[in-house]
Structure 1
Amino acid sequence: MYVKDANGCIATTSVIVANSAAPTVTATSTPAACGNINGTITATGAGGVTPLQYSRDGVTFQTSNVFTGLASGTYIITVKDFSGCTNTTAVIVASTGGPTISASSAASSCAANTGSITITATGTPTLQYSINGINYVFTSTFNGLAPGNYIAYVKDGAGCISAVAVTVAATAGPSLNVTNTPSSCNINDGTITATASGGTAPYTYSIDGVSYGAAFLFTGLAPGNYTVYVKDFNNCIKTATTSVLNASELTLAVSVINSSCNGNSGKITATATGNALPLQYSLDGVTYQAGNIFTGLAPGSYTVYMLKMPMVVLLLSLQQLLRYPAHQSLYYLPMQPVPAIMEL
């Protein structure tokens, strides 16, 4: 280095200008989640002459070492020190897709709120689930759902959301058909038979809506109106109403065509009236038939039996019709028909 004064005198000295090292730089990134422009890069510079500046395009520099709002891709990060020395490094901003999702459902029984949805998903932990897109929880099964169409959502740890449509079906309840037999002469021997179909077996039955059992035949019933209940495996309940009638006292009339010339051509016709039909008829008290006509009979005395299962309700002779007194069990003979005697 030289210096000269006003008189032209010159002096010199030696100065060493050192060559400072350029700064170094490293960088890390977070992915652009769900294909959005939300990746980040964090640069770390060292060395050089401070203060340091950073750039992701080599043109525009900033004092902050963090770059946000980045799409996925490869970036060249430049660091520049106070003296203008620079250095670069490459960094990749990855792209993470949203979580995968599938959903299954269990039907709602009898159109009640008993359906459920189960969501199955994979993605960046920790996953959260929703069926309205607003309220997210960490459990993947939703219970107590009404039948209908739903959207199932999953949100991963990066905030990515995926959705899938799912339907909660409604299972139909069972169908119920009932038949009955009347109660005889104010005796509590009416019956109701319940027949269920559809729904989900097995079925249970009730005539009070409280006590259910597997038996579908109800016996020993007094005359009156009844509501019969059937409940299937899914607790779906259907009802049917029926009336057990009070059977009228039966009457029996007998007409005779005599056998001619001592041949076997006699005929007996038994005619019953009342609301406890069908009845069965017999001439020997052993073999019964649904038909009320007996033919091919030889001359002689015959007893006509009329039977309403399981109780005998009357007898008839040639001279008069004898009814059993009401409400006296002595005259009701289970399974034993009472005869009417007829002479041919």
Structure 2
Amino acid sequence: MCRGNNGQITLTASGGTAPYQYSKNNGSTYQPGNQFTNLGAGTYQVILKDANNCVTPAQAFTITQPATLSVVIGKTNVTTCSGATNGSISVTATGGSGSYQYSRDNGATYQTSSTFSDLAAGPYQVVVKDGNNCTTTAQTITITQPAVVTLSLSKTNVTTCFGANTGSISLTASGGTGAYQYSIDNGSNFQPGNQFTNLPAGIYQVVAKDANSCLSTTQSTTISQPSALSATTTATPVSCYSGTNGSISVQVTGGTAPYRYSITDGSSYQTSNQFTGLSAGTYHIIVRDANNCLLDAPTTEVTQPDAVTFSISQTDVACSGGNSGSITVSASGGSGLINTRKTMELLFRPAINFRI
């Protein structure tokens, strides 16, 4: 039976004169029943007497008890991740008698294995019973779990220039267990550092895992970029051959304002988008935005008109003193209408020189 006061002695009487009385304490006290119950371990001196007070010699009966049934919690493993069901409890029983059975729900159910596995975090009431159905006092064992792995975006930097790989992402993890690793491709690849640099613009799925490979919730972050720099130019030609009054105007979109402009292959820049005082020629213009992103504007040509040239033909006066002479001027080059003038009033006179 179980350790404690649950032993019993049952007697069977014969002979003498009924009814009988029974004693378990060497005749100090008697009872009419032939069964003594709720006895503790020990030696009892049993005597029987009949109706005529005839007694039997005392007989010694010894009640033994098993060793105390006890339980030792060998190991309690916490769950590896928050919300996981991979905790376990290992139990070692001693004492009692027969084979043991084990319960983690205060005796509601039992199993023959001394290990409970696939457990969620929480308290468990562990009880052991032996072959006599003797049970231990319930022990409360708690399986703990780590905090949830959480991930926060410390900083996401945009790329400075369109198409550049200058973006970056900084991550910070907390909770979980041990050292963290970080991923920006939804867990396909991890690295121990929480800084990701040299990234192009795009959408990134960031996640962290701890030493137990417990994962944080995936988050989406976007590295943006400025729009592509674009420029158009408008040239104003030189008005006269070999002049220096040509100009170029630059119109820029995209990038990050303000812009600066160079007509000297980047050796110097100006804030104005107008280049003036230019002679005829082909110009290479570079645009630089606030992030030092560069754009080669379309090669721009400042043109000039051809040089003005002319030729003169004359018709002499037919008769001395007459006014039938003439001068013809043929001009080319320049632009627009060509005006001719002479240095003195054109009154036809005999034999006179004109300057055109």
TM-score, scaled to structure 2:
0.56
Judge conservation of contact 2:146–2:175 (CA < 8 Å) in 1: no
Which residue of structure 2 aligns with residue 235 of structure 1?
292
CA shift at 1:73, angstroms?
A: 3.6
Which residue of structure 2 aligns with residue 129 of structure 1?
182
Q: Of residues 245, 252, 273 in structure 1, which corresponds to 2:303?
A: 245
Judge conservation of contact 1:173–1:200 (CA < 8 Å) in 2: no
Report the aligned-residue RMSD: 4.4
Judge conservation of contact 1:35–1:97 (CA < 8 Å) in 2: no
CA distance in 2 between partners of 1:39 and 1:46 (Å): 20
Which residue of structure 1 aligns with residue 69 of structure 2?
22
Q: Of residues 314, 330, 334 in structure 2, which corresponds to 1:274?
A: 334
CA shift at 1:15, angstroms?
A: 5.3
**Alpha-carbon spacing, 1:175–1:13, altered in 2? closer, same or farther (3 Å):** same
CA distance in 1 between partners of 2:268 and 2:101 (Å): 83
CA distance in 1 between partners of 2:207 and 2:124 (Å): 34
CA shift at 1:153, angstroms?
A: 0.9
Q: Of residues 148, 151, 154 in structure 1, which corresponds to 2:202?
A: 148
CA distance in 1 between partners of 2:288 and 2:128 (Å): 77
Deviations 1:273-311 (A, max 9, x none): 835x9xxxxxxxxxxxxxxxxxxxxxxxxxxxxxxxxxx
Q: Of residues 49, 68, 83 in structure 2, which corresponds to 1:35?
A: 83
CA distance in 2 between partners of 1:81 and 1:227 (Å): 97
CA shift at 1:110, angstroms?
A: 0.8
Deviations 1:96-151 (A, max 9, x none): 56423344533333133232333344322433210121222233232222222221
Judge conservation of contact 1:30–1:40 (CA < 8 Å) in 2: yes
Identity value in percent: 33
Judge conservation of contact 2:279–2:302 (CA < 8 Å) in 1: yes
Query: Which one has the largest radius of gyration?
Result: 2
**Alpha-carbon spacing, 1:35–1:13, altered in 2? closer, same or farther (3 Å):** same
Judge conservation of contact 1:98–1:156 (CA < 8 Å) in 2: no
CA distance in 1 between partners of 2:267 and 2:157 (Å): 28
1:60 aligns with 2:96: no
SS at match of 1:153: strand
The AA in structure 1 aligned to 2:89 is: I
Q: Of residues 126, 138, 143 in structure 2, which corresponds to 1:93?
A: 143
The count of aligned residue pairs is 257
Deviations 1:176-225 (A, max 9, x none): 34333435534666543434454213323334655352354556755333
The AA in structure 1 aligned to 2:141 is: V
Which residue of structure 2 aligns with residue 194 of structure 1?
250
Judge conservation of contact 1:175–1:197 (CA < 8 Å) in 2: yes
Which residue of structure 1 aligns with residue 192 of structure 2?
138
CA distance in 1 between partners of 2:189 and 2:199 (Å): 16
**Alpha-carbon spacing, 1:209–1:38, altered in 2? closer, same or farther (3 Å):** farther
**Alpha-carbon spacing, 1:242–1:79, altered in 2? closer, same or farther (3 Å):** same
The AA in structure 2 aligned to 1:93 is: I
Judge conservation of contact 2:80–2:212 (CA < 8 Å) in 1: no
CA distance in 2 between partners of 1:135 and 1:81 (Å): 52
Deviations 1:154-186 (A, max 9, x none): 223443212012222231134434333435534
Judge conservation of contact 1:32–1:70 (CA < 8 Å) in 2: no
CA shift at 1:230, angstroms?
A: 0.8
SS at match of 2:213: coil
Judge conservation of contact 1:32–1:40 (CA < 8 Å) in 2: no
CA distance in 2 between partners of 1:99 and 1:244 (Å): 65
CA distance in 2 between partners of 1:86 and 1:222 (Å): 109
SS at match of 1:78: strand
The AA in structure 1 aligned to 2:206 is: A
Unpaired stretches in structure 2, ≥5 consecutive residues: 1-42, 44-56, 310-332, 345-356
The AA in structure 1 aligned to 2:143 is: V
Q: Of residues 117, 120, 124 in structure 2, which corresponds to 1:71?
A: 120
Which residue of structure 1 aligns with residue 166 of structure 2?
114
Which residue of structure 1 aligns with residue 259 of structure 2?
203
1:172 aligns with 2:227: yes
Deviations 1:222-244 (A, max 9, x none): 53333322121233333233111
Deviations 1:305-329 (A, max 9, x none): xxxxxxxxx9975339xxxxxxxxx
Which residue of structure 2 aligns with residue 327 of structure 1?
none
1:319 aligns with 2:343: yes
**Alpha-carbon spacing, 1:29–1:174, altered in 2? closer, same or farther (3 Å):** same
CA distance in 2 between partners of 1:136 and 1:83 (Å): 56
CA shift at 1:25, angstroms?
A: 3.2
Unpaired stretches in structure 1, ≥5 consecutive residues: 2-9, 252-272, 278-313, 321-344
CA distance in 2 between partners of 1:110 and 1:208 (Å): 24
